[in-house]
A = this chain, B = another copy of it.
């Protein structure tokens, strides 16, 4: 590829981006698109009144200004800590690649360009290869420039990483301290409660915690089975009873009347308890008690009187059998992934291994269907199979379309299936929180992208040749050194087509826009809040990290890529800030857990770049440069180990100091009692006993769109129960509220 061609390609993509951004700036001003482009504001009920005027149809850069001017505190307030971390990734990338570009463009690029004694053409007609390290002669003494650039990049990246890690760890602590009291800090999730023939799980939990954590235990809430299997079993039992008793009356009692109906031994709830007991006596009988026991999971939320007590209980091995009484700090109420909490704890290890194997298999065989289709699109075969196509395919344009465009279209379509697939794997893995599931999916998508974009393009070929990469580990650096520089042009165009274009698509929100348009066309206006969705960290974080990976690995090999990368990061910075401000709603937050992923990936990218450089210096027969690069690899590894030690533990767990300080502050201000009362209504598994005093119950259990996608049984079940409730088939006792409030 020539420079002119590359610049043309860049120009076209820039034009596309500018067009998309302009269209966006017009579309966002149309009131009908508010739900698409201002989902967050619509969700928080702050809709604008916009009158018809000409200005509405003129593209304006106001959104850019707005996105630029927003402070980090605003982002934190709107999008939570995860949004701040995401923006920090972009800022970090901008900084480190600006330094890299400065060094590489002014030092490495001239060395590459003048690497061989040859007659240079005009720059626009020059081949791209002239600008890569492939143009440097063997035994060249100028390779110190590449080595120096590598040092500068590594040192700047490591120091920036260190300060970012430190600052985010601090921010995390401050965020926890500064945020309003979260019920999750007072709550632990207990799984694998031992089964006993005499007692229900509920009683077992109560007995255990009142015995071993008497001074700090507040109350607990048992978790009930849900999911498709349970639904089917319920239905079968229902039918069985109908056939047996000839009446439906004693089966129509929903399981929720008993929900959360035990464990209330906190003093402040004694009064309500009494009411509850009398209410229960009047509504329950022995057979339904047995029913309830069958529907209990071996899991419960246990509430403690202080954050410190909950932290302690979550970190300690409770029983001498580590498979019983497994404790974890509970996720935020809106972050709980209910359908996974019921999974027996003993299954988790095998689920993790199975999903790991499935993900790796998916990663490796992903290209199989694509190559299969590519084989099909060889026209002669197609024509043999479908003779009627012969006429159509005679046209040159159709021919080009089918052979050139169809395979990549299919590849892109398959790529679209990757994040949902990985999300499904993460759901099956058994994560107890939505944020945990997303984080796990983020890892999987990241590995997938790096493998299938980088490695498969570098070692173009089938699954067999993919695997053969590992059969000779020692030769890997040399193989990479030969393959990577020649693919630099492809990666540069990849930045245009996948990077810039994806930002355009992101800001245009094409799919929601279409949905909205069709809805308006068909006048289906009842689902107006469809657009509010959580930020897709599991697709966007890996994308950014992939570009970072490409940047680091190509920085000294083909520095011409760096300016385009900086443009990408800058646009991304504007676009994503705008999206955080306007589109996405932060329903749950992982508390900055994405930063360790970013850190690890960046260090991996750096070490990988250094190993490729080692290979290149080896191929170019420059022992001095190789000799200087080796300590850099060791140094980067040591830096990584130090950071693991220094920062990672504080991302895994709160510190005692923080928890105690927060407890003291609340105790002094007298808030603790109020928090305890709120605790009991915080976690609501079904969220369907609608009560004006329990507004939070509903909001927690509102399934967001991605959940509807992967756990249809839950939303189905929810809808069905809602219908039942509407039709009045629930026996609502007068003390339902007491049952819910006091029972926990």
A323 within 8 A of B: yes
> Which of chain B's residues have a CB closer than 8 A to the CB of A350?
638, 641
Q: Contact between B323 and A656 (Cβ–Cβ < 8 Å)?
A: no
A-side interface residues, number (CB < 8 Å): 42
Of B315, B318, B323, B474, which contacts A471 at CB under 8 A?
Answer: B474
Q: Contact between B320 and A173 (Cβ–Cβ < 8 Å)?
A: yes
Binds B, one of A26-34, A477-485, A642-650, A688-696: A642-650
A311 within 8 A of B: yes
A655 within 8 A of B: yes
CB distance from A469 to the nearest CB of B (A): 11
CB distance from A668 to the nearest CB of B (A): 14
> Which of chain B's residues have a CB closer than 8 A to the CB of A645?
322-323, 349
Of B470, B650, B660, which contacts A212 at CB under 8 A?
Answer: B660
> Which of chain B's residues have a CB closer than 8 A to the CB of A473?
470-471, 473
A453 within 8 A of B: no
A123 within 8 A of B: no
Docked Cα-Cα span, A475 to B468, in Å, equals 11
Docked Cα-Cα span, A311 to B319, in Å, equals 13
Q: Contact between A319 and B655 (Cβ–Cβ < 8 Å)?
A: yes
Docked Cα-Cα span, A278 to B681, in Å, equals 58
Q: Which chain A residues (426-477) contact chain B, with CB distance < 8 Å? A: 470-475
Q: Which chain A residues (612-669) contact chain B, with CB distance < 8 Å? A: 638, 641-642, 645-650, 652-658, 660
A282 within 8 A of B: no
Number of copies: 2
Q: Which chain A residues (285-320) contact chain B, with CB distance < 8 Å? A: 311-313, 315-320
Known contacts A349-B641, A641-B349, A641-B353; decide if A320 and B646 are in contact (CB<8 Å).
Answer: no
Binary per-residue interface labels of chain A (69-89) against chain B in the complex, 1 for a CB within 8 Å, 0 otherwise: 000000000000000000000
Q: Contact between A642 and B349 (Cβ–Cβ < 8 Å)?
A: yes
A321 within 8 A of B: yes
Known contacts A473-B473, A646-B322; decide if A317 and B655 are in contact (CB<8 Å).
Answer: yes
> Which of chain B's residues have a CB closer than 8 A to the CB of A658?
320
Docked Cα-Cα span, A320 to B592, in Å, equals 15
Of B318, B470, B472, B656, which contacts A656 at CB under 8 A?
Answer: B318
CB distance from A615 to the nearest CB of B (A): 15
Known contacts A353-B641, A660-B212; decide if A323 and B655 are in contact (CB<8 Å).
Answer: no
Docked Cα-Cα span, A319 to B660, in Å, equals 11
Q: Contact between B312 and A316 (Cβ–Cβ < 8 Å)?
A: yes
Of B322, B472, B642, B660, which contacts A472 at CB under 8 A?
Answer: B472
A169 within 8 A of B: yes
Q: Which chain A residues (530-583) contact chain B, with CB distance < 8 Å? A: none
Docked Cα-Cα span, A657 to B212, in Å, equals 7
Residue with the greatest number of chain B CB neighbours at <10 A, chosen from A212, A474, A647, A657: A657
CB distance from A648 to the nearest CB of B (A): 8
> Which of chain B's residues have a CB closer than 8 A to the CB of A323?
645-646
> Which of chain B's residues have a CB closer than 8 A to the CB of A169?
320
Binary per-residue interface labels of chain A (168-192) against chain B in the complex, 1 for a CB within 8 Å, 0 otherwise: 0110010000000000000000000
CB distance from A179 to the nearest CB of B (A): 15
CB distance from A666 to the nearest CB of B (A): 16
Binary per-residue interface labels of chain A (193-227) against chain B in the complex, 1 for a CB within 8 Å, 0 otherwise: 00000000000000000001000000000000000
Docked Cα-Cα span, A345 to B652, in Å, equals 20
Residue with the greatest number of chain B CB neighbours at <10 A, chosen from A311, A313, A649: A649
> Which of chain B's residues have a CB closer than 8 A to the CB of A315?
315-316
CB distance from A596 to the nearest CB of B (A): 13
Q: Which chain B residue has the least Cβ–Cβ distance from A658?
A: B320
Q: Contact between A653 and B317 (Cβ–Cβ < 8 Å)?
A: yes
What are 9 A-B residue pairs whose CB atoms fall within 8 Å in the complex? Answer: A169-B320, A312-B316, A313-B656, A316-B655, A317-B649, A317-B652, A321-B650, A323-B645, A323-B646
A residues sitting closer than 8 Å to B (CB atoms) are 169-170, 173, 212, 311-313, 315-323, 349-350, 353, 470-475, 638, 641-642, 645-650, 652-658, 660
CB-based closest 10 A-B pairs = A322-B649, A471-B474, A320-B655, A317-B655, A173-B320, A316-B656, A349-B645, A312-B312, A318-B656, A317-B653
